[in-house]
Structure formats: C-alpha cells, structure tokens
Amino acid sequence: MFLKVQSATNLGLETMGVDVEVNIASRGLPVFEIVGLPAKSVDESKERVRTAILNSGLEFPQKRIIVNLAPADIPKEGSFYDLPIAVSLLAFVTNCRIPENSLFFGELSLDGTLRHTKGALLLALFAKENNIGNVFVPEDSANEAAIVKGINVFSVKSLSSLLLHLLNKEKMEPLEYKKTDSDIFKAKAEFDMAEVLGQEQAKRAIEIAAAGGHNILMIGSPGSGKTMLARALPGILPPLQDQESLEVTKIYSAAGKIPPGGSIITVCPYRAPHHTISRIGLIGGGSKPKPGEVSLAHRGVLFLDEFAEYPRATMEVLRQPMEDGKLTISRTMASVDYPARFILAASANPCPCGYLQHPKKQCSCSEREIRRYKKRISGPILDRIDLHVDVPVVDAGELSETGQGLQFLESSAKIRQRVIKARNIQQERFKNDNIFTNAEMRNEQIKKYCQLAKTAKQILTAATNSFNLSARAYFKTIKTARTIADLAEAVDIAQEHVAEALQYRFKEN
C-alpha cells in the first residue's frame, strides 16, 4: 500500500516542500526503513514513531515499511518528520483518510503527544504562498504558525486527538490567532535612563542612535557608565512595525528561539555577545547555516562591549552586514541569505589600562601602546559608525549630593516617546523606499530627503574645511542631522541640526 503525506523543510529562511512517501508491503520480512538522505535525527524518528503509535493504544504494523523523503537528493535534518510519518502509518492502521491540501509538521514524544518544533512560522508562510489550505503543527508551536492569516492552522495535541479528527469523530477547529507577548523579549532594560547620572551628551547620542538607527561608539574609562548606558538602551527603542516584526519573527522561528506558545515578536531584539564570540557565532554558519548574532539582532541592537578586545578577524566580518543589511552564508550543503540590519552599539576604553583622561587615576600606558590600541578598531568599521561619543568618568556621589544637572534627568519612557515620533516621521518618508530609518539612506536618498537650509550648508562646508571631513563623514553628518531634525519635528535640516550632528563626528585624537 502506498501513502503520501506533505511536509516541508526549512533551509535558513527559505522553505521547500518535502513529500513523505510510505510504502507498506505485504510481502517480505518486517522492517522499518527511512531513505532520502536522512540525518541521524531523522533516522531515529523510527523509534519515536513506533513507540508513540504503540503508546497511543494502536497496533504497529509488522510489515515491510519503507519511508522515502522526496526529493531524495537533498539531505534531511530535524525531528519534524515524525508527524508526517506517523500520520501515514495511522492511515494504514485505521484506514482513515489523509486530508488533501495539508502540511504535517512536528516532533513526537514517546507518549504520543507532540513537542514544540522550530520553524512553524516559516512552514505556515510556505503553505500560504503555495495555496495549501491546512497545516497541522504541534500545539505549542501553533500560535506561532497562526500569525499567518488565510490558512487553517490545526493545533495538534497528540496522535490520538489527531486520529479522532481524521476519523471525523471529534473534529478539531482551526486555531484563532491569539496575540501573546513573548516574555523573552518583553522590554528588558536593566536600567532606566533616569538612573544614569551625568553623561548628558552620551544619553543624547543614544537617543539619536535609537531614533535614526545609527551605529554608535562610546569611548570611556572603566566605571564611566558605558555598559550601563547600553543596557538602558532597550528601554528607549521603539516597538517593531508590522513588516519588521515578521522579519524578526521569521529569523527567531528558524533559529528555534521562539518559546512554546509564543507568537510574533514586537519588541526590538537586543543582543550582547561576549567578545570571545567566534566569527561563525557572530555572523552565522554551520554546515546547515544557522543565523548568527548579527541576524538575531536584526531590526534591533547588537551591543559589543569592549569592542577593542574583539579579534580583528571577528570584527572585520561585520563589514558586509553593516553595509548591506544582510549577508549570504555559503557552505557545501547550502547557501543561505539572512537579513542583518542592526544598530551597532559598541563601547571601548581609551587606552589599554583604561585610565587615559581619567580625572583621578594615572594612565600607565606609553604613547606607542595607546596608538596600537586605537588601531585595534578597524578603520572601515569606524567609518561605518555615525555617532562617536566620549563617556567621561562621573563622580556620581557628588552629582547626587549637589543635585547639579538633575533637572535634565529624563525617564526612558519620555525619551522613547520622542524616538517613536521620529521613527513615525521616517516611516512616512520612506514608505516607497523599502527602508525604515535614516541610517539606511543611500546617497541618492540623502539628496532627495535631506534638504539643507542655506546656513546649514554654510557651516557644513566650513566644518569640512576646519575638521578635514572625508566625503563619507560629510554624508554621515547629514544623515545624523536628518535624525536630529526629525527628533525636533523639523521638515528641513537647519543650521542647529548640522551643528549638533558635528559633535558626534569621529575625532582623530
């Protein structure tokens, strides 16, 4: 007897259909075999399926069972073939009808229930694109798949409940999408901006970074509050827009990072890997390429603390994603595209010992050591950072005692309001450009959207001469000025916006 069940496999963010063909021969010795280049996890599916069927109170056929995963020349990986294989065997045992126009996807537990399986969202998107009306996914992954409208998502609890549905005894209803907040991404700022005393300029720079999606580098001595500022950053990031949400959720679904029952991600991701991270860990890879930190930080923030400590090779791999907002990972088995449009927030010490420019401690580095240390952050990377800001050491005790400058303390919530407003202006501006933020503007877009007032042009020209600005620095300043103008809700870029933007330029010394 020949049976066929449809499923699909994810490769990176792409999905392709897989037919699970099962032949149960009445002649020959009993055997249960999977062909079609199964990896170990697929091969072990045999034991899970056999036990799950037995534990669901059914007979496992003592026949010659051959499972073929077609197309047969593509290596198969993952545990989600359990369900389609089991369904075809159920159909044989109970004579139930396998529903047409349906995808099955999910890992089985030995007791016959289904487990949370990664990639359910991608499967649902594939079903919709290919006009497949029904998808059967594990209960824990169903809400993730139900984000996609226009298809029936069936939430399968266990093999026995699925069987009752297939036998038309107890029909399951398609799942209604429930919006749940994925706790892992619930705004998790460790500090409120109001808790950071002093650092007025750095805070302003961070606000601009969040508003316009600009990369930012903070330089300061240990204990000056760089890390604290960076950890307060998630609190002022705007919520993701619908399309951004879907992009981010797809990546997290493919990486299996959406928790059971979780759904669409609406909060900007915030990733802070340690500087011992490998190149592959940062940009992604593996024989079946997995997304790296840059992709997990897509549409969010990638915070790299102690940036100068990153090995040169690790740092350099950031160049392409910082420029293109995406990257292609090619391996012998597959070549995969992942989006990676993130805000790079980096922090570094001014010198190896860290105490250069410190008001109280003496720096113990020689000139040569300082020069060498400064060269550790690669030039091309520095070139792609729009905002450079010093974070001087603050005597927090004295500040809170005297109360100096405390009148300027603002809460994260208040800053976030301004950031959201500025982002909305950008969304309106770029609605036909397929970008979201000012930082993503290319030169032609800068020409189109960045009208400089006459005086603004004058000081930019004057600054180009007195500060020796390069062509790239010139355009970076305009982009930053655009964001500052958006924060001020100004249509044209005025002199004051350019003047402030110049504060964040890269300074040689």
Partner 1 sequence: MGIYISQDDVKYPKLLKELGKEMPKQLYYKGRWDESIFENCLAVVGSRRMTTYGKQITQKLVGQIASAGVTIVSGFMYGIDAEAHKAAVDVGGRTIAVMPCGIDRVHPDYQIKLYNDILENNGLIISEYEGDSQPGYWTYPARNRIVAGISKAVLIVEAGEKSGSLITANWAKKFGRKVFALPGQITSLVSTGTNQLIKEGAEILIRADNILEYFELNGSSALTEPAEVGPREVFPRSSLEDKIINHLQREPMEMDLLARNLQTETAELGRTISMMEIKGQIKKENGKYYVS
* Residue 368 interacting with partner 1 (CB under 8 A): yes
Site string for partner 1, 202-241 (x = CB under 8 A): -xx-------------------------------------
Contact 133, 152 (CB under 8 A): yes
357 binds partner 1 (CB under 8 A): yes
Determine the interface stretch with partner 1 among 60-68, 126-134, 199-207, 415-423 (rule: CB under 8 A).
Answer: 199-207
For position 352 contacting partner 1 by CB under 8 A, the verdict is: no
Answer for which of 102, 158, 182, 199 binds partner 1 (CB under 8 A) is 199
299 binds partner 1 (CB under 8 A): no
Query: If we measure between CA atoms, which residue out of 56, 48, 129 comes closest to residue 81?
Result: 48
We find the least distance from the C-beta atom of residue 187 to partner 1, in angstroms, to be 25
Residue 363 binds partner 1, judged by CB under 8 A: yes
Which residue stretch of 62-70, 168-176, 281-289, 493-501 sits at the interface with partner 1 (rule: CB under 8 A)?
Answer: 493-501
Residue 463 beta carbon to partner 1: minimum distance, rounded to whole angstroms: 5
Rounded CA separation 313/489 (Å) = 41
Site for partner 1 in 370-409 (CB under 8 A): 371, 390, 392, 394, 404-405, 407-408
**Amino acid at position 63, single letter:** K
Is 356 one of the binding residues for partner 1 (CB under 8 A)? yes
Cβ-based nearer residue to partner 1, 136 or 191: 191
Give the residue with the Cβ less far from partner 1, 50 or 204. Answer: 204
Cross-strand partners of 337 = 328
In the list 100, 173, 367, 428, the residue contacting partner 1 (rule: CB under 8 A) is 367
Other Cβ atoms less than 10 A from the Cβ of 276: the count is 10
Residue type, 411: S
Query: Is 502 an interacting residue with respect to partner 1 (CB under 8 A)?
Result: yes
- For residue 366, state whether it binds partner 1 (rule: CB under 8 A): yes
Report, in Å, the least distance between residue 182 CB and partner 1.
35
Rounded CA-CA distance 7/102 in Å is: 8
Q: Which two tokens stand for residue 374?
A: 């400064």
Eight-class DSSP state of 196: S
170 in contact with partner 1 (CB under 8 A) = no
509 binds partner 1 (CB under 8 A): yes
Report the C-alpha gap between 16 and 481 in whole angstroms. Answer: 45
Query: Which one, 135 or 391, has the nearer CB to partner 1?
Result: 391
Q: CA 268 to CA 238: how far, in whole Å?
A: 7
Q: Interface mask (CB under 8 A) for partner 1, residues 439-468, using x and -?
A: -------------------xx--xx--xx-
The C-alpha R_g of the chain, in whole angstroms, comes to: 28
* CA 35/CA 21 separation, integer angstroms: 10
Does 415 engage in binding with partner 1 (CB under 8 A)? no
Helix (H, G, I), strand (E, B) or coil at 19: strand
Polymer length of the chain: 509
Of 465, 463, 502, give the one whose Cα is nearest residue 481.
Answer: 502
Gap between the Cα atoms of 251 and 239, Å rounded: 17
Q: Is 349 one of the binding residues for partner 1 (CB under 8 A)? A: no
Contact call for residue 489 and partner 1 (CB under 8 A): no
Q: How far apart are alpha carbons 289 and 158 in whole angstroms?
A: 31
Spatial separation of the C-alpha atoms in residues 248 and 240, rounded to whole Å: 9
What DSSP assignment string belongs to 416-456? Answer: HHHHHHHHHHHHHHTTTTT--SGGG--HHHHHHH-PBPHHH
The minimum distance between CB 224 and partner 1, in angstroms, equals 11
Site for partner 1 in 23-62 (CB under 8 A): none
- Binding residues for partner 1, rule: CB under 8 A, are 198-201, 203-204, 356-357, 362-363, 366-368, 371, 390, 392, 394, 404-405, 407-408, 458-459, 462-463, 466-467, 484, 496, 499-500, 502-503, 507, 509
